[in-house]
Structures are given as structure tokens and as C-alpha cells.
A = this chain, B = another copy of it.
Amino acid sequence: MNSNLQKTYDGLLVKAKEIAVLQSTEAIVTWDMETKMPPKALNLRSQQIALLEVIGHKMLTDPALGKTIEGIEKDPGYYELDRAQKRNVYLAKKAYDESTKLPEELVFETAKQQTIAVGVWKKAKAAKDYKMFKPELKKMIELRMKAADILMGVKGTKTPYDALLDAFESKMTADNITKVFDGMRVGLIDVMKKVEKADKPDTSILSSPVPVETQKKISDAAMEFIGYDTKSPNAGGRLDETEHPFTTGYYDDVRITTHYHEDRWPSSLYSVLHEGGHAMYEQGLPQEWMYQPIGSSASFGIHESQSRFVENMVGHSPEFLSYMLPKLKKIVGKPLRGVKLADFVAAVNVVEPSKIRIEADEVTYGLHIIIRFEMERDIFAGKLKVDELPHAWNEKYDKYLGVEIENDSEGVMQDTHWAGGLYGYFPSYALGNIYGGMFLKKLKRDAPTWKRELKKGNFQPVKGWLVENIHSKGNLYDPADLVKEVTGENLTVKPFINYLEKKYAKVYGF
């Protein structure tokens, strides 16, 4: 690198570091709000977060940053930059372009409307009154449509909705998703139907009351199993309790939360495994890329693939459960006394079409996502009006899942995402499963003994593979490229469906 380019490039890294450090600060302040903050502080906290947002926006849209990026790109030495350096420049430019092209009034109005719409959504949901929610939802969609129109130009996507998708899954398009989701729908419904014909497992063992203090010991065991360290003198994690589990943080400070339901004790075990999977990803990013744009996850979907891999492909596997059940019996005592492994495996792998996405099992979950994706796609293509959403929703739930929605609170108003303007986010949840299926197929080839090792309580083959193939690559690739790089295949739902077929055939004996 010539010395002038080196100087400009170093300047870019300095600015990128400021942004990363600021964002990691905001993560801590937000974590505190969810976990420790005295309730009276809510208004003050919203001022603090708003200020950090304003400062961050100033950093992201600083004209000096734009000049630095331009300087690098126009430098004759640009082509000698290595892949990581080029990707840093690309990611910085992408963030800069997107931030500078959205008018501040639109950003401001959207933020305001988010607060309003989420507030009204809460009330409307409680009152089961979609009419109350409708005008705010309509305005929210219009605002996001405006942003999507602008971003479509910046990103060069084919449709406005593709521009929204791109924020969560870079370069992913509705066409691609439609193709892969169509296959997934067929595959999932097929597995679901087969399961429906088999005997229902007895899930009552999962609902015996287990005290919170006991469940905490299960969490400890789960964290120890995956090597998520919250206790050593060099620990980089911690576990707290919140209403909804989440993961947040950056590199050396990645925190997870769980929720203890006394009458559904496996819920906390699996949320710890799920969030632990997210945390492992953040902690596994290359140390030397810390504070750089490439020192981040590849996409929301890839992130979700990591959490679901640990929660489902590992955590719900007969092999893991065969290792874990004796330990759980020791911790839990009476509620698990005499329970047989096969019955336990069947119980935690129960499949049941339901109305509520966040309570869905591994098989039906994707169907919930497909419904939201298809509706979002049609809304932003102008084919589906806000008036028609409840009807469209209920029809799809009947058609895909065979369940009847009785009111809009358990229907179109069940999730907060649309009130919050998060259009384009839902597909990432299901893409996580699809990526995970592809990774699993490759893992089997690369580390054929992984299941045998799991049975012995050894998570290392899986973890090592994930770190080497996914975590260590940070944000070097767009998600589809990463998947191709790792597996050699283009995006396909087949491995995920195969995995489900095989596991449920074994568990349910079909």
C-alpha cells in the first residue's frame, strides 16, 4: 500500500472504531434499560439513547468520512488492497451512503412514528381492536415505503421491498426468498402432516413446576456445556433475566438473558442455548478485526443460524439429550424421576401447529415466517392493502397451518415488528434455519463424529467448526456468498428439510 493510501485507510479505521465503540456503548445502556434500570428512569433513558443515536448519526454522515472513503476508492493503489481491506471500505461506504441519502426529517418522523405505533399497537392488541391500530400501521408502512424508495436507488435493488430486505440480509431478494420459501413450505407441511398421523408424545413432564433457583442451575449447566463463560476471572459474558430473552454486546462483553417460567422449565434451558449461540458468534469474531466494519456478523439470518444451530440441531438432538438428561435429573429431581430418554426426546421435540409464532416448534416455525414474508412482499408491491391484512392473515393460517384465528390479537397484531417498522426482518428468522441446515450437512462431512462426541458431552467439534467456518469470517461476505464459501452450494432448503425428515422420522417412528 502506498503511504498516502495507508494514511487514508488508517483514517477510515479510526472513524470506524469511533462508530463501533459508540454503538457498543449504546448496547450497554440499552441492556441496562432492560435488566437493571430503576423504572422511574425510563424518560431519562430515552433521552440518553436518543442522544447516542444523534451522535452516531453524525459520525455516520460526517462528510469527512465520505471524503476518506472516496479518497481510498480513487487512489491508484486501491486495487492492491486485500479482500479484508476492500470489504472494510465497501461496508463503510454502504453505511455512509444509506445514512446520508435518507433525509433527516424522514428518519426523525419514522422514529417518532415507531414510538406512537408501538404504543397504539399495545393498546389495540389488549383491546383486540385492529381498527384502532390500522391508521398508525398505515402511516408506518408509508414512511418505510418512502425510505425503501430512496434506498432502492442507493442500493440498486429491483424493488423497494428488496431494499428493506437488504438491511437484514445483504443482497437477498424477495424473488430468491420466494423460491426457497416455496420449497420450505411444501417440505414443512409434509413433515407436519406425517407427525400429525403419529402418536402425540406426553409433554406433561415438561410442565411440572420447577423452582427458579433450580432452573438457574440448569442454565449454568447449559452455559458450561457450550463454553459460554460468565464466571472465570476472564469471563466475557453474563446471564440476566428479562421478559423476553435477548443477546447484546460486542466482542469481550457479550451478554445474554433468559426468562424462567416455573411451569415450563425447558423454556429457559432452550433460551440459554439459543442466546448462547448468538453470543458464541459475537465472541468468536476475529480479535484482530475488533473495531473494524468486518469485525461484525454477516447478517441477521446468519446470526439466527448460529442460535438455532445450538438450540435445535444440537440442543434438541437425541445425542445431546442422552448426555444431558442424567444431569437434568440430578438437578431437577422429582419432576424427571423415571423419565425415559426416548419419551423426553419426543416431548421436547413435540410438533404442534399453533397460532403464536414465538411459541412455535422447529417444524411449524417456518410456516409462521412464510406468512409474514408473503404479506410484506405483497404490501410493498402494492398488492395488499392495510384493510385486507386481517383477512389475508387468517386465510394463510388456515391454509398453511390449519389453525383458525379467532381475533386479531392472536392474528395480525401478535408481533410488535410491523408496529416498529421492521419490514424485511422476518425472513431472516427462517433463513437462519435454512442456512443452519446447509451448515449441518457440511459439518457432517467435515467432522463425522460430531454426534458421537455430543453424546459424550463434547461440544468442541461443533463449536470449533462454527468458529472456523462462520465466526472467524466476520462480515467478510454477504450471507449467500458466505454460505457458498462454506458449503460450496447455492441457497437451498433441502438440507434443512432432510434434517427435519430424518430427525422426526426417528423420534416419531414414521
* A residues lining the B interface (CB < 8 Å): 17-18, 21-22, 24-25, 28-29, 32, 36-41, 43-45, 47-48, 51-52, 55, 230, 233-238, 250-253, 255
Contact = CB atoms under 8 A, between A and B. Distances in A.
Contacts of A251: 44
Contact of A38 (B25, B38, B43, B236): B236
Contacts of A52: 25
B44 A24 contact: yes
Nearest to A35: B36
Contacts of A43: 252
A45 B238 contact: no
Given A29-B28, A29-B29, A253 B45 contact: yes
Contacts of A21: 44, 47-48, 51
20 contacts: A21-B44, A21-B47, A21-B48, A22-B51, A24-B48, A25-B25, A25-B29, A25-B48, A28-B28, A36-B238, A37-B253, A38-B230, A38-B237, A39-B235, A40-B235, A40-B252, A40-B253, A41-B252, A44-B253, A55-B55
Interface of A is mostly: helix
Contacts of A233: 39
Contacts of A237: 38
- Count copies of this chain in the complex: 2
Contacts of A47: 17, 21
Nearest to A48: B25
A253 B38 contact: yes
A233 to B, nearest CB: 6
Of A18, A21, A237, most B-chain CB atoms within 10 Å = A21
Given A21-B44, A43-B252, 5 more contacts: A29-B29, A38-B255, A40-B252, A40-B253, A41-B236
Kindly list the 4 A-B residue pairs having the minimum CB-CB distance in the complex, ordered from nearest: A41-B253, A40-B236, A40-B252, A25-B48
A235 B36 CA distance: 12
Contacts of A44: 21, 24, 250-253
A195 B252 CA distance: 54
Of A18, A29, A39, A235, most B-chain CB atoms within 10 Å = A39
Contacts of A17: 47
A426 B236 CA distance: 36
A39 B234 CA distance: 5
Nearest to A237: B38
A337 B9 CA distance: 72
A237 B37 CA distance: 8
Contacts of A37: 253
A48 B252 CA distance: 13
A38 to B, nearest CB: 5
Nearest to A44: B252
A338 to B, nearest CB: 35
Of A40, A43, A255, most B-chain CB atoms within 10 Å = A40
A283 B37 CA distance: 15
A228 to B, nearest CB: 11
A28 B52 CA distance: 13
A230 to B, nearest CB: 7
Contacts of A235: 38-40
